[in-house]
Chain A
Amino acid sequence: MTNTFVQLSLTPILIGVLACCACALPGNFLVLRRQSLIGDAISHVALPGIVVAFLLTGTLAAGPMLIGAAGAAIVAVGLIELIRRLGNIEPGAAMGVVFTTLFAAGVLLLEQSDTSKVHLDVEHALYGNLESLIWLRGTSWAALTDPVALAALPPQLGRLALVLLAMVAFTVVFWKELVIGTFDAGFAASIGARPGPTGFGLVVMVAVAAVAAFDAVGSIIVIAMFICPPASARMMTDRIGPQIGWSLGFATLAAVLGYVLAGYGPLWLGGRNSVSAAGMIATVSGVVLGLAALWGPRRRGAHRLAA
């Protein structure tokens, strides 16, 4: 059990936790700024970016795919802004126009191009392949100290660790600007905290997190993790600092519990095959949100002043 656990389950769980935390951290600000669906839009448009990158380079190497997805995200954000301004359309509808169109274009490109030789399809983009990110060299716990075995770790692990680190750094460095800009953009502008560039920086960081996590775990987890843990955390506290703490806790809980339930749950119920880990992690995060919405101490918001 121990050996196969390190080999088959340790790295997927770690990658899941890292991806979930990397998304939940900026998600806190998205939820508070009522921009939750930006994450949804960005993770949809990653598909055409990846397909174009594949068509241009002919490989599924991580570098071009990440660049392609990030480029698509930037194009999408620009298009949304353009359509919103030119057409005087509400942001939600502009977003709906852009991300569905780009996703449709991605699907069409994918169907039209010859991708039969490589593992690239829409299902993969949606569900990810968390279960396949195993560590073959990790035959026992002792492998954690063996440099040869460590070098064979899935590259997603290191990449997501870096992204999470970047998220933490961004949040810490721009903490004041982010918080003030989130709660009172007008005041932020008046004291020179530059809510505009900060907001744009936040969207860029969201895109980075979405693209990096998307590569490892698929777009469902990305969307769920941008929203569910921060939303659950919001039911627990009125303060932004503790809210982020709660959200990271919930994200970790969802990743670990979801993976374990997906991998071992069916076996406990007498089945023989595991179910989708990405789907299960999203489901667990939803259950957590449901519980928080039912019984969270701050579910109805701060004490309202008599209006």
Chain B
Amino acid sequence: MSDIKKFMFVNRKAPHGTIYALESLEVVLITAAFDQDVSLVFLDDGVYQLKKGQQTKGIATKNFSPAYRALEGYDIEKLYVEKESLEARGLSAADLLVDVTVLERAEMGELMDQQDVVLSF
């Protein structure tokens, strides 16, 4: 598999309430291992996946949020968050556990247009 494609993962769901965020992260890590061009997008409730300070002990589930910090080690550095999604939730980039690029909605739309494969879970 020598061809490199642009893979975008669009995360629009909050973590913990459903398993989508966790299983999406599992695909992201595998995709990076295939040397593809990977971007992650966090939109709507998906931005909650990146909220600092998640403590899941009380709900007896695995806290997978530290894994977002490990993405850099897999050469996944393109993390995008939509500005209005953050603002609508009273959050700013400082509330997030990783460094992200905050995009205006039109910039986000343009970025989506440029992808080869868009995966959403």
Chains A and B come from one and the same complex: no
Q: A-contacting residues of B (Cβ < 8 Å)?
A: none
Q: B-contacting residues of A (Cβ < 8 Å)?
A: none
